Amino acid sequence: MLRLGEKIVIVADAFEQSLPVGDYGYLIAYDRNPDNAFDYVIRVPQANRNFYVTAEDIEAEEQLLVVEAEKATHAALIDYALSTHNEKLFHQLMNGEAEPAENEAVAKENMSQAEFIKQVNLRAWI
């Protein structure tokens, strides 16, 4: 749940009430009426108005900044992989493969001989 006074960004307009999508505003009240579809009351300084909005229509500015930073980092890593011809990094970024697959391979190499024989017998039995 968002805090009062928190800076938010309008990301949607579910009830088509002419919200200024993309503009920022401030959360000024919770709408506690159970018969109402709206969750918050926000103040948009550019429009000089208050709006009733649902929780899906707004997003905290900090969360949006984190998402945008992750997207920019991902794009920069792809550019780096392409410019250095690092095919392994490129496929890892594009396919969403994580590094734990490599860590599992290392863990398998560190198996004792008894564990290895047990794994081979299990696979042979199947």
Could you give the domains of the chain? 7-60 (2.30.30.40), 63-125 (no CATH)
Query: Stretch 91-116: mean pLDDT, rounded?
Result: 69
Structure confidence at residue 116 (pLDDT)? 79
Residues in the chain: 126
51 burial level (CB within 10 Å; 0-12, 13-18, 19+): buried
58 has a pLDDT exceeding 90: yes
CA distance 29 to 49: 14
Amino acid 42 reads I
32 has a pLDDT exceeding 70: yes
Instruction: Show the DSSP H helices in 33-109 as ranges.
Output: 61-83, 87-95, 100-109
